[in-house]
């Protein structure tokens, strides 16, 4: 019997609590508008710096690509040159062999002449009885070695030529190596430049996030004194709506699951309460320097990103919209938002508009 009564009371409460209050579109005040403009201008400046950085990155990347293309060309040339040098080295080795053979054959002949000379060739030479006879005998000797000498000389000339070519190719290789080193050095410099621009860009992205965080409350529009506790959109201005056994102490912001909840003003987190008092599910209280306190309810603990004692800035994301609480799921996903002054709740609307 008692149980039945409780269920029927709860049903009445639930029905009343599901009845939405007046639904209004919020018109931002001049203050909020100017703050939002200030934030937007800052974002615009950062964005333009970002696109400058991006343009620089694209430019430097193009230079790097070109240089690398050049390096590949040098590599191809160096490869061809290496082949040429290897071929030439083979020719030089082959020529050295025949040159050596020719030198030996010439040497052997000269040695034979010399060895026999004392008793034959040389003796005959010096046995000449006149100068003209001497010349005649000498001419015969000369003819004997001349053909070998000529062959030797030809190989010698070929060898000199090959060595000259080798020196030229080595010189070319040296200059290609220098060219390659220069190109690699240039790439290194470009890459350093690229890194610089990339860290610049990172820095701008940080700045962008900081501005987004700083001005989130204003971008979300609304307030003179407090920023909006979530994204712009519908609000049930149902503060002090009678709920059968209690009055509704805040306003409700129906939003899809996971919509960010923002700190309405900078301050210190007083508590993250999980004891589900009054069907809040989980709620967060923030103490602001201007004496106000704000309360945010119905989120799930897993989405809460702040803890008691933590300093938060206006517009900072503190949690996500959920449907946690006594009537879990029944009222749909929404943020329940309260403003407290001197220990009592006050109507949030004037602070948000």
Interface with Zn ion by CB under 5 A: which residues? 252, 336
SS3 at position 306: coil
Give min distance, CB of 320 to Zn ion, in A: 17
Give min distance, CB of 295 to Zn ion, in A: 10
SS3 at position 337: strand
Q: How many CA atoms lie within 13 A of 104 on its CB side?
A: 6
SS3 at position 13: helix
Centroid of chain to Cα 91: 52
Residues 6 or more apart in contact with residue 116 via CB below 8 angstroms: 122
Give min distance, CB of 277 to Zn ion, in A: 13
- Which lies closer to Zn ion via its Cβ, residue 218 or residue 262? 262
CB 31 within 8 A of CB 222: no
CB 68 within 8 A of CB 152: no
- Which lies closer to Zn ion via its Cβ, residue 50 or residue 345? 345
What is the number of the residue whose Cβ is closest to Zn ion?
336
Give min distance, CB of 242 to Zn ion, in A: 13
- Which lies closer to Zn ion via its Cβ, residue 252 or residue 320? 252
- Which lies closer to Zn ion via its Cβ, residue 252 or residue 265? 252
Q: For residue 63, what are the CA distances in angstroms to 73, 179, 187, 188, 282?
A: 15, 17, 8, 11, 56
Q: How many CB atoms lie within 10 A of CB 129?
A: 7
Q: Which of 251, 201, 200 is nearest to 226 (CA)?
A: 251
- Which lies closer to Zn ion via its Cβ, residue 12 or residue 127? 12
* 327: DSSP letter: T
Give min distance, CB of 23 to Zn ion, in A: 14
Distance CA 334, CA 256 (A): 7
Distance CA 267, CA 308 (A): 11
- Which lies closer to Zn ion via its Cβ, residue 126 or residue 247? 247
**What are the backbone dihedrals phi and psi of residue 290, each rounded to the nearest 5 degrees, phi first?**
-80, 10
CB 273 within 8 A of CB 295: no
Give min distance, CB of 240 to Zn ion, in A: 11
Give min distance, CB of 256 to Zn ion, in A: 17
Give min distance, CB of 265 to Zn ion, in A: 20
Task: Show the tokens assigned to 329.
Answer: 């799921």
Q: E strands within 130-250?
A: 235-236
Instruction: Name residue 37's beta-bridge partners.
Output: none
Give min distance, CB of 33 to Zn ion, in A: 28
- Which lies closer to Zn ion via its Cβ, residue 92 or residue 321? 321
- Which lies closer to Zn ion via its Cβ, residue 16 or residue 63? 16
- Which lies closer to Zn ion via its Cβ, residue 197 or residue 249? 249
Distance CA 144, CA 146 (A): 6
């Amino acid at each position: 019997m008692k149980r039945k009564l409780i269920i029927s009371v709860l049903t009445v409460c639930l029905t009343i609590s599901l009845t939405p209050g007046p639904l209004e579109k919020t018109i931002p005040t001049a203050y909020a508008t100017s703050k939002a403009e200030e934030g937007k201008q800052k974002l615009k400046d950062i964005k333009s710096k970002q696109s400058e950085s991006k343009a620089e990155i694209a430019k430097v990347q193009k230079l790097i690509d070109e240089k690398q293309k050049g390096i590949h060309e040098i590599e191809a040339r160096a490869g061809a040159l290496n082949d040429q040098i290897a071929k030439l080295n083979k020719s030089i080795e082959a020529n050295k062999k025949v040159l050596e053979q020719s030198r030996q054959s010439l040497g052997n002949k000269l040695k034979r002449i010399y060895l026999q000379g004392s008793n034959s060739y040389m003796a005959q030479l010096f046995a000449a009885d006149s100068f003209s006879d001497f010349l005649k005998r000498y001419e015969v000797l000369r003819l004997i070695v001349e053909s070998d000498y000529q062959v030797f000389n030809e190989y010698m000339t070929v060898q000199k030529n090959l060595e000259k070519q080798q020196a030229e190719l080595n010189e070319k290789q040296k200059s290609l190596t220098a060219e390659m080193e220069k190109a690699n050095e240039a790439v290194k410099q470009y890459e350093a430049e690229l890194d610089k621009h990339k860290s610049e860009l990172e820095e701008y992205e940080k700045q962008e996030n900081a501005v987004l965080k700083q001005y989130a409350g204003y971008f979300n529009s609304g307030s003179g004194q407090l920023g909006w506790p979530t994204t712009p959109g519908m609000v049930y201005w149902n503060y002090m709506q009678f709920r059968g056994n209690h009055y509704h102490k805040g306003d409700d912001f129906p939003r899809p699951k996971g919509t960010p909840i923002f700190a309405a003003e900078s301050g210190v987190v007083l508590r993250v309460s999980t004891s589900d008092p009054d069907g809040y599910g989980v709620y967060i209280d923030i103490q602001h320097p201007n004496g106000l306190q704000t309360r945010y309810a119905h989120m799930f603990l897993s989405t809460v990103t702040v803890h008691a004692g933590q300093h938060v800035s206006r517009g900072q994301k503190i949690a996500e919209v959920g449907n946690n609480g006594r009537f879990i799921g029944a009222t749909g996903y929404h943020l329940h938002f309260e403003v407290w002054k001197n220990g009592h709740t006050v109507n949030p609307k004037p602070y948000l508009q």
